Chain A
Amino acid sequence: MTIALINNIPAVSLAKNPIAVKLQTDAFISSAGTKCTVILDFNSGEASQSETFTFNYTKISDEQLFTFRNAPNNSGLQLPAFVSGDKHEWLDSIVLYLYKNYYLKRDWTIERVDETISMEAKFAGTEYNVTGVNNVVNMLYVVNNGTDTVVEDNFSIVLDIFMISMLFFRLPKSFYPKLQGISPPIC
């Protein structure tokens, strides 16, 4: 989108009050970038006690080691292992436990899609690109890396105002002389 005026400037405005000019453009960004996505695919089975996978991206310094446990704690690093019951309910509970992790809660949107857990970074950029080691036998660990937003160099917006008149704006030059120009005394 090229730069555009997005507010209505009245045909007549008062100079002693602000005259707002709102301009909008997205030309500041030459490439919008993409968000990193991670799929934890459990189509081939479930996770068992003590299986692990790591989750690391450059925005955070600490590698997150997730361990499946039959009775996970609130550390944000333990996830429920499948014991019995409905697989979808189990995957939903994994989503809840993933959200107990501070960094994942802050930076990622997580949801279950059928028999997979889909994770998408909240913002575009390579700093969310995930590296990890998968030691879960029945889980496919699929990472689609994102790309950075690219902005234009030296970007600025120019707004010029042109007066369309040769007349003076200040009062003594153009205002009262008109009153004095024709001079029958009033008293």
Chain B
Amino acid sequence: MLNAPQKATGVYKAFKLVWCEYYGDPPAYKGVTESSEYIAVRGGLSFNDFPNSNYWTTWLPTNKRFMTWKEITRRITQAQSEFLNFLNHSATATSLILKCKMNYSDGSDSTATIYTEATIAQEEIWCFPAGYTQIGVEAKKTAGKTVSNYQLWVEDQASNVISEVITFVIDIRTYENERVFYFENSLGGIDSLRATGKRQDSISIERSLTEKILSDYWESDEAFRQIENYDNSYVLEYAISSGFKEKKAVISQMIELLISRDVREYRNSKLIPVIINKDSFTLYKDNDDQYFLSFEYSDAFSNKAYSEI
């Protein structure tokens, strides 16, 4: 997993436009004009939020959000990786400094600089690791103290806070079933879901059969098969519950998981691509006091064979 900041060049592109008129007999290009450079981020806003949106001009600089709609307070385990994509909307910021305030169980706190990235251009998107182990909280904390939660934010070279503050609460509870999913969110960032509910595993097998044309007379033989099974493949399928979540908003934000083009399950130290299978989901009902999401998914590949390495 990522343990140093990286420019998230995969989620944004610079582009230029060239336009002109084309007419006459024979037609010819006239008035060729080239635009300045623009940036397109692989993300979007919902149908109703997009029209007349001031997301880039006002909303983002005011709210200073990371590229996510996830809650600003998140409950994670020490081992869980997290990622924060940050778009440098500031015209004056040339360095991005990820700061961490560690709040201890005895009520005290300490602050450390986690990363310093210099020579940053405006509108660049940087992906910061944010997990407890990823950013080395254990090594940066005051010896002998227990971190109950830590807060991350981004400052510029003049110590101006240019991002929101995200609080990661360390969940010390142990769950019998715990699976972590990572997925691309609507703004091109990486969100996670730690599912603590039960999962049901099943298998879907596709058999390829062929039927032999028999002669008029055939002999009974132990090895003789009229129907030949010449190829099989299988896909592992899963039905899982997110486990109970405390806030309705957390379930709403799982829409990001359900509509994501790229979902990975962290399994055996690998990010295994999976496909969300169902098309319709129940999110919540009025007067619910606990929230969970059930969904089905399968591996994004089929297997020709079984193995146990």
Residues of A bordering B, CB below 8 Å = 2-5, 9-19, 21, 23, 25, 27-28, 152-165, 167-169, 171-176, 178-187
Contacts and interface: CB of A to CB of B under 8 A. Distances in A.
A161 B15 contact: yes
Contacts of A4: 33
A158 B21 contact: yes
B11 interface: yes
A152 B19 CA distance: 18
A123 to B, nearest CB: 23
Given A184-B1, A186-B81, A164 B15 contact: yes
Interface in B34-70: 35, 37-45, 50, 53, 55-57
What are the 8 tightest A-B residue pairs by CB atom distance, in nearest-first order?
A: A16-B44, A174-B10, A185-B269, A164-B14, A175-B10, A152-B23, A155-B23, A2-B31
Interface string B117-131: 000000100010001
Nearest to A185: B269
B271 A16 contact: no
B22 A156 contact: yes
Contacts, number: 189
A179 B269 CA distance: 12
A116 to B, nearest CB: 42
B19 A159 contact: yes
Nearest to B125: A12
Interface of B: 1-4, 6, 8-27, 29-31, 33, 35, 37-45, 50, 53, 55-57, 79-81, 83, 87, 89, 123, 127, 131, 133-134, 180, 182, 184, 186-187, 190, 261-262, 264, 266, 269-271, 273
Given A16-B44, A185-B269, 15 more contacts: A3-B33, A10-B57, A15-B42, A15-B44, A21-B19, A27-B30, A155-B21, A156-B23, A157-B21, A160-B19, A169-B13, A173-B10, A178-B8, A179-B271, A180-B270
A28 B31 CA distance: 13
Contacts of B190: 179
B10 A154 contact: no
A94 B188 CA distance: 70
Nearest to A165: B13
Contact of A158 (B13, B20, B134, B184): B20
Given A155-B23, A187-B79, A163 B13 contact: yes
Contact of B6 (A2, A163, A178): A178
